[in-house]
Chains A and B, each alone.
Chain A
Amino acid sequence: MKKEPSRLLKRLRFFKPLEKYSDGWSQLDSQDREWEKVYRNRWQHDKVVRSTHGVNCTGSCSWKIFVKDGIITWEGQQTDYPSTGPDFPEYEPRGCPRGASFSWYTYSPLRVKHPYVRGILLKFWREAKEQNADPLAAWKSIIEDEDKVRKYKSARGKGGLVRSSWEEVNEIMAASLIYTLDKYGPDRIAGFTPIPAMSMVSYAAGSRFLSLLGSPMMSFYDWYADLPPASPQIWGEQTDVPESSDWYNSGYLMMWGSNVPLTRTPDAHFMTEVRYKGTKVVAVSPDYAESVKFADSWVSLKPGSDGALAQAMTHVILKEFYMERETEYFLEYAKKYTDLPFLVTLKKKDEGFVGDRFLVASDLGLPLSNAEWKPIMMDRNNKMVSPNGTIGHRWEGKGEWNLNLANAEGEIEPLLSLLGLEDEVVSIDIPYFSDGKSEVLPRSVPVKKVTKNGEILYVTTVFDLMLANYGIDRGLPGDYPSSYDDEIPYTPAWQESLTGVNRNQVISIAREFAQNAVDTEGKSMIIMGAGINHWYNADTIYRSILNLVLLTGSQGVNGGGWAHYVGQEKVRPMEGWQTVAFARDWQMPPRLQNATSYYYFATDQWRYEELPIDQLTAATSGKPRYRHPADYNVLAARLGWLPSYPQFNRNSLNLVEEAKNSGKEVAEYIVDELKAGKMKFAIEDPDDPVNFPRILFVWRANLISSSGKGHEYFLKHFLGTSHGLLGDESSDFKTEEVVWREEAPEGKLDLMVNLDFRMSGTAMYSDIVLPAATWYEKHDLSSTDMHPFIHPLNPAITPPWEAKSDWNIFKGLARDFTEMAKTYLSEPRVDVVAAPLLHDSPDELAQPYGKIRDWSKGEVEAIPGKTMPKLVPVERDYTQVYEKFTSLGPLAEKNPIGFHGLGWSGKEEYEKLKSILGVAESGVGKGRPKIEEDRDAAEIILTLSSATNGSMAVKAWEAEEKKTGLKLRDIAEDRAAEHFTLANITAQPKKVISSPIFSGYNKGERKYSPFTTNIDKMVPFRTLTGRQQFYVDHELLLNFGEALPVYKPVLPHVPFNKVENQPASEGKEITLQYLTPHGKWNIHSTYGDNLHMLTLFRGGPHVWINKDDAAEIDADDNDWLEVYNRNGVVVAKAVVSHRIPRGMAFMYHAQDKHINVPGSKITNTRGGTHNSPTRIHLKPTHVIGGYAQLSYGFNYYGPTGNQRDLSVVVRKLKEVSWLED
């Protein structure tokens, strides 16, 4: 290479003539241009790799990862999403500053680089191993020594993790697993990892391993309180939502408790763009949120009063669009797609009546199969008929499960109201809840009389009940408002005192929303989210709001309906994923546990309840069955409503043996033992050491510092270490069904293992921390509900230091575990799985009429799978775990593949996988497709799913055709030949194929919107009536007065119930509502701890309060505050802003405790997380099961981990101590 001349020489050019132009106004620069190279080099790279971030932000944006000299240098947004089509804004641009900062982690000080073990535990282990090389004996010597156990458990969260090796950590884990399996059973081991859609293969890695052991996986959607129970109640659907581009189809767009620009950053552009089409945008939010800036109207209401606002809007719509004028579009929709024309029986109560259950075919003595499950409507010619499409039709397989208004006898023209045809008008008590009181509203309905077994049943329609509920005056007797200005439920005037919103604003928005739906045939949309979904009564709030889209015929219409965005919940290739993830290719059923119940009992939050259920039930209903929420969970376990692991107070691996000894069939034996009270459900005595959860694997999650509502309860009871819990256990409010032990255990968990790439709060509290690959270091799959694409994660570099992909970590553990099992668990065992009555299965017909019948009280016979959980024996051969882990088992070929009650054969696809992946050469998986790496698992997921494999999609629609008797195949036929592979989605993200496992379809350029298949193609909703239900008639919901949408206030809450628990006052204090919405400079606890984001905002924990509230406690901006209640204390810096209304503190979720958290003066420990002042409140109506759409599905139904009905004391922290002395 030619040597460059000296820079100084190049500079010396004074005598060189300059080239000048334009009369000397311009000149040619002759300066040395070497300096430009620095900038060119900065942006030069060796390769670009497509990957994304698996952070549950719902964005699922595809990114370019740039690599230079083997080092990840930065990332940039991909722009190659397929087009939305002409005359439509593109998906691109997608991305946000948080994602753009991710590569910081790769080489950061927060990176977990090696396997670590809690120092003191490792010391015990090495000592034990020195004395006795037998690993099982070594673990036993530690775990059965109380002193050692206390020492290492109390050291959790206090540093002291030391470097170990993969070999050693695998040995410790394997030994502890084998010890626990043998002593307590597989259900004492559990895994928690959330949101498969954000990295499906990594989820599947651990869940496949644990499922092969027979150990439960924890749900997350309900635990996060992101599950809206209203959705399964109304639609029988977990959640289904439009992709964000469908916002652009909307004519009227409300953002209700969802801060779109902040939490849906890459999607927000569709909302801003649709405004240019003239769409009106309304924001409903207490604070001046980012979303408000984009809105034409701002409804600022009191936090948690959203239900009242929606009830009043419903009142306006019913009155103006159903009563004052009959809107044909709405009425047609109501008759075809909702339960409004269905008949409901009334129950005599005192002088009048109260609503009861649906009238069904068996009540009329109709000669039909599944007659108890076929609700009835009134035909125009005054005849009660059973229409097609109900749940009874769904599970009899005659192809009559469709929404055609007809039955075997012909067409049906349903009536919405009985008024004019009634036998009688009767008075009815409508349950009503004002602050602190259960009341009744005296109203009336027209009824028909039906005679059943000599007894007269009074029936009315759901529509008539709705009008009574909402106080729509039809000249019937009762307490009805005469105008909007009467302060009687549920008028716009009535809501004013609850929400603080002007009645005229309510009226005008309701009117506009409905009128737009009339004008556009349903293009009125409500984007809703966590802001309103994390309340105890979020389900009633949601049902009130969803009235608006149901009554205006907006649901199932592009540009209309609800758009509930919370977690990244949509695993597009669902069937393939669940096959791999829960090892359904080898054995059924997997143990899948609802996490809220698990943590509620494991962290002993149930011992601290203070609000009896009888203060929450309706005045229209008798005394509730139980006063304590925990008792309802026991009921749910016993009746097969909810899963409940740990399962029994005995090792489930021994039950078959025990049964054999007593000469009985195992199911019979278990029933007898339970009935005799000799064996108990573990949940009946959660504080008995026999029933403790023992081992927990946490990966892709920050349980302790992000989602662990009741943080301090976790620290005290679950982990047994220092905590800041200020409340004490209820001494006078006790359980009936759960054993109350005087001494609450501390440190139930023996081993917590965390896989992560960064030292998060969970890692700090874990006993073993394993270095996981980042999202730029492994193969995986990503999809979201926000856009219709599936695209991959790919390794830009191999995992640095000792890090490994989640797949390889669990594969390695499976290998070492299996080796050890050959010595200690060499014989196959039979495990008995107690499985709940499942959603989308014939179990939905288990418990008719929605009546509670408890076999343990002699109310009904104990029949597994009917009145109690199913009891399924499953063989466990622990010496085959590794071989099974690494090959695709026979059931994938033999059993139907499917989801949502649909099944079809995947035989051809299974064969194809053999040639794609090759086959295992030996062992139990011999001749079967082998799974060596994460990318192999990804190929299986893509191949076995209808959304990503055209041949599967066609078969899936054919299966749906058989069920419904409808023509549906054409929806996917044009894409039958497509088969997605990891390679072709790496080339470009691909739009998924329409599948019947989702409720909408996106054929051609149609945007995905939920329930469009139901509306356009007449496929029923997966509910009791087969329609969208305003009325839900389970006995427990009737107890709570929630058969129809109802307004319920926020739970009464004071920071401290007992004066003695309250820390001594130190100067000025203020009590505020405590809200934890999502933050701007973080996604949950990720990104918030990286240097870029810390630099962008405050560099540590912060809490927003109003300037006047701050002035009341003499706090200035940036002062340290202590925020506390009986659940715990968090210390954070004040952000004083007029953006926040008075009376509330916003502590943005999720602020971890590893960066810049000083000590609390009250507890003298480090100042907590955003979850320190929180805890969960278990709502009994969420435990319902075994009844139509209210049957358990993993992440589908079950109690939510809601944490919002709380208040805190806030005061200035005068002296800041970093606890460093």
Chain B
Amino acid sequence: MNFWSQFWWVIFPYLMLATFVVGHIYRYNTDQYGWTAKSSEFLEKEKLKWGSILFHYGLLLVFGGHVVGLLVPKEWIAALGISDELYHTFAMFAGGTSGLITLTGLLILLFRRVNVKRVRVTSSISDFVIAGLLLIVVGLGVYNSLTFNFLSPASSDYRETIAPWLRGLIVFRPDASLMEGVPISRQLHTLAAFGILGIWPFTRLVHVWSVPYEYLQRSYIIYRSRRKKGHTDLRKAA
């Protein structure tokens, strides 16, 4: 176990996760008016319609796949009576399809960001960086699901390497050695994904936390109170 292994698979991920958490707190406290998805729909609608829908729905599917593949131990799946072959075949087709959907959406969005002048000139560097990182992560992800799984499923079953490593990370028992034999494309996929976590709080991605789920459960009519702590309630004083 060398230093670099320790760095990339223990130090770096924690650094990114820490930045992710602290960064969000910091940004929320100091930059509420910049907390935005930076919608550019006002500037261009047609390409956005396709790119955004494909990307976001694809991403939701991909996210689900990752939860199943990484957070659920292999044994639990097997216990459900799902064979490795069935699992991998399903993962390849469903994951690959979701990945392709996401990738298509992302490419449309990226093309739009670069080629539509009014979108380009209103973009910040962070918009390009985050789009670039996403392209790497999603691209490698699609590549991984479509190639490795299919050619030699046994040799690189991430459910025996990456998944336990990640679960170890979450429960603060990281084991870098689990990642050492992992093919380089998966390593890069993983590192880039952590990279995204690290810059997330400082980009438009914060909008993920602002999904207005509240609307699902709040009352229809909202009142604000003029009462403030320390102030006399005039109604009572009278």
Q: Once A and B bind, how many residue pairs between them come within 8 Å at the CB atom?
A: 39
Kindly specify which of B67-75, B78-86, B120-128, B214-222 makes contact with the partner chain.
B214-222
Contacts of A20 in B (CB 8 A): 219
A8 CB contact (under 8 Å) in B28, B218, B221, B223: B28
Contact residues of B: prevailing secondary structure: mixed
Residues of B within 8 A of A35 (CB): 32-33
Chain A 1-51 interface residues, beta-carbon cutoff 8 Å to B? 6-8, 11, 20-22, 24-29, 33-35, 38
Closest to B28 in A: A8
Instruction: Find A29's partner among B25, B32, B224 (CB 8 Å cutoff).
Output: B224
Separation in Å of the B213 CB from the closest CB of chain A? 12
Complex CA–CA separation, A22 to B220 (angstroms): 10
B28 near A7 (CB under 8 angstroms)?
yes
Is the beta-carbon distance between A6 and B29 smaller than 8 angstroms? yes
B25, A8: Cβ atoms under 8 Å?
yes
Within 8 A of B (CB), among A398-425: none
A28–B219 Cα distance when bound, in Å, is: 9
B224 to chain A: which residues have CB within 8 Å?
28-29, 33
Residues from chain B with a CB closer than 8 A to the CB of A33 are 224
List B208-238 residues whose CB lies under 8 Å from chain A. 218-225
Q: What chain B residues lie within 8 Å of A24 (beta carbons)?
A: 219
Tell me which residues across on chain A come within 8 A of B220, comparing CB atoms: 25-26
Question: Which residues of B lie under 8 Å from residue A11 when comparing CB positions?
Answer: 28
Contact B29 A7 (CB under 8 A): yes
Contact assessment for A25 and B219 in the assembled complex, using a CB-CB cutoff below 8 Å: yes
Closest A residue to B225 by beta carbon equals: A28
User: Which A993-1033 residues have a C-beta within 8 angstroms of B?
Assistant: none
Q: Which residues of A sit under 8 angstroms from B28, Cβ to Cβ? A: 7-8, 11
| Distance of A1040 Cα from B220 Cα, bound (Å) | 80
Shortest B206–chain A CB gap in Å is: 12
Q: Which of B7-36 contact A (CB under 8 A)?
A: 25, 28-29, 32-33
B33 touching A28 by the CB < 8 A rule? no
CB distance from B35 to the nearest CB of A (A): 10
Contacts of B29 in A (CB 8 A): 6-8
Contact A27 B32 (CB under 8 A): no
CA distance A6 to B27 in the complex (A): 11
Whether A26 and B223, one on each chain, are in contact in the complex, defined by CB atoms closer than 8 angstroms, is yes
B223 contact from A6, A7, A29, Cβ within 8 A: A29
Q: What residues on B are CB-neighbors of A25 within 8 Å? A: 219-221
B230: nearest residue on chain A (CB-CB)?
Answer: A2
- Rounded to whole Å, the gap between the CB of A239 and the closest CB of chain B is 50
Q: Known contacts A8-B25, A11-B28; is A26 also within 8 Å of B219 by CB?
A: yes
- Please give, as numbers and ranges, the residues of chain A lying within 8 Å of B32 by CB-CB distance: 7, 34-35
B32 to A: closest C-beta gap in Å:
7
Contact B223 A27 (CB under 8 A): yes
CB–CB A29/B222 < 8 A: yes
Are B25 and A27 in contact, CB atoms less than 8 angstroms apart? Answer: no
**Main SS class of interface, A:** mixed
| A21 neighbours in B (Cβ, 8 Å) | 223
Residue of A nearest to B223 (CB): A28
A33 to B229, CA, bound (A): 13
Contact among A8, A26, A34 with B222 in the assembled complex (CB-CB below 8 Å): A26
The smallest beta-carbon distance between A32 and chain B, in angstroms, is 9
CA distance A777 to B78 in the complex (A): 83
What residue in chain B is nearest A27 (Cβ atoms)?
B219
Contacts of B223 in A (CB 8 A): 21, 26-29
B105-152 interface (Cβ within 8 A of A): none
A809 CB, nearest partner CB in chain B, Å: 43
- A872 smallest CB distance to B (angstroms): 67
Q: How far apart are B217's CB and chain A's nearest CB, in angstroms?
A: 10
Is the CB–CB distance between A38 and B33 below 8 Å?
Answer: yes
A21 CA to B222 CA, complexed, in Å: 10
Known A7-B28, A8-B25, A8-B28; contact A27-B33, beta-carbon cutoff 8 A: no
A25 to B220, CA, bound (A): 6
Return A35 CB to nearest CB of chain B, in Å: 7
Residues of B within 8 A of A22 (CB): 221
Look across to chain B and name the residue whose beta carbon is closest to the beta carbon of A22.
Answer: B221
B187 CB to nearest chain A CB (Å): 34
Best-buried of A20, A29, A38 by chain B (most CB within 10 Å): A29
Alpha-carbon separation in the docked complex, A29 to B214 (Å): 12
Determine the residue in chain A with the shortest Cβ distance to B218: A27
> Nearest B residue to A6 by beta-carbon distance?
B29
Shortest distance from the beta carbon of B231 to any chain A beta carbon, whole Å: 14
Are B221 and A27 neighbours in the complex by a CB distance under 8 Å?
A: yes
CA gap between A33 and B227 in the complex, in Å: 12
Complex: A7 Cα to B25 Cα, angstroms: 9
- Give the distance in Å from the alpha carbon of A562 to the alpha carbon of B221 in the complex: 58
Complex Cα spacing A20 to B218, Å: 10
Interface residues of A in 1061-1113 (CB under 8 A from B): none
Q: Which of B188-224 contact A (CB under 8 A)?
A: 218-224
Residues on A with C-beta less than 8 A from B218 are 27
Closest B residue to A35 using CB positions: B32
B25's nearest neighbour on chain A, judged by CB, is: A8
Which residues of chain B in 25-63 are interfacial with respect to chain A, using CB atoms and an 8 Å cutoff?
Answer: 25, 28-29, 32-33
Instruction: Return B229 CB to nearest CB of chain A, in Å.
Output: 10
Which residues from chain B contact A29 at a C-beta distance below 8 Å?
222-225
Residue of A nearest to B30 (CB): A7
Q: Contacts of A7 on B, CB cut-off 8 Å?
A: 28-29, 32
Name the B residues within 8 Å of A28 (CB-CB): 222-225
Interface centre among B29, B32, B219 (most CB of A within 10 A): B219
- Cα–Cα distance between A6 and B28 once the two chains are bound (Å): 9
Shortest distance between the CB of A407 and any CB in chain B (Å): 80
Q: Which residue of A lies closest to B221 (CB)?
A: A26
**Residue of B whose beta carbon sits closest to that of A24:** B219
Residue of B nearest to A38 (CB): B33
Give Cα A7 to B221, complex, Å. Answer: 24
Q: How far is it, in angstroms, between the C-alpha of A376 and the C-alpha of B222 when the chains are bound? A: 85
In the assembly, what is the distance between CA of A24 and CA of B219, in Å?
A: 6
When chains A and B are docked, how far (Å) is the Cα of A937 from the Cα of B222? Answer: 59
Q: How far is the CA of A6 from the CA of B224 in the complex (A)?
A: 20
Task: Compute how far the CA of A38 lies from the CA of B225 in the bound complex, rounded to whole angstroms.
Answer: 19
- Cα A769 to Cα B177 in complex, Å, equals 77
For residue B225, which residues in chain A have a CB less than 8 angstroms away from its CB?
A: 28-29
How far does the alpha carbon of A1146 sit from the alpha carbon of B33 in the complex, in Å? 46
In whole Å, how far is A564's beta carbon from the nearest beta carbon of chain B?
47
Nearest B residue to A9, CB-CB = B29
Give the docked Cα–Cα distance between A12 and B28 (Å). Answer: 12
Name the residue in A21, A22, A26 with the highest tally of chain B Cβ atoms < 10 Å from its Cβ. A26
Shortest Cβ gap from B28 to chain A (Å): 5
A7→B32 CA distance, assembly (Å): 9
Residues of chain A within 8 A of B25, CB atoms compared: 6, 8
**Complexed CA–CA distance, A25 and B222 (Å):** 9
Alpha-carbon distance A6/B24, docked complex (angstroms): 13
Shortest distance in angstroms between B212's beta carbon and chain A's nearest beta carbon?
13
Please give, as numbers and ranges, the residues of chain B lying within 8 Å of A26 by CB-CB distance. Answer: 219-223
Q: Complex: how many Å from CA A11 to CA B29?
A: 10
Q: How far is the CA of A25 from the CA of B33 in the complex (A)?
A: 30
Cα A26 to Cα B33 with chains together (Å): 27
Q: Which A residue sits closest to B220, measured CB to CB?
A: A25
Cα-based distance from A20 to B32 in the complex (angstroms): 27
What would 21 A/B residue contacts be, using CB atoms closer than 8 Å? Answer: A6-B29, A7-B32, A8-B25, A8-B28, A8-B29, A25-B219, A25-B221, A26-B220, A26-B221, A26-B222, A26-B223, A27-B218, A27-B221, A28-B223, A28-B224, A29-B222, A29-B223, A29-B224, A29-B225, A35-B32, A35-B33
The 8 A-B residue pairs with the shortest CB-CB distance, nearest first, are A26-B221, A27-B219, A29-B222, A8-B28, A7-B29, A29-B224, A28-B223, A26-B219
Listed in ascending order, the chain A residues whose CB lies under 8 Å from chain B are 6-8, 11, 20-22, 24-29, 33-35, 38
Which residues of B does A touch, CB under 8 Å?
25, 28-29, 32-33, 218-225
Given contacts A27-B218, A27-B219, A29-B222, 18 further A-B contacts (CB under 8 A): A6-B29, A7-B28, A8-B28, A20-B219, A22-B221, A25-B219, A25-B220, A26-B219, A26-B221, A27-B222, A27-B223, A28-B222, A29-B223, A29-B224, A29-B225, A35-B32, A35-B33, A38-B33
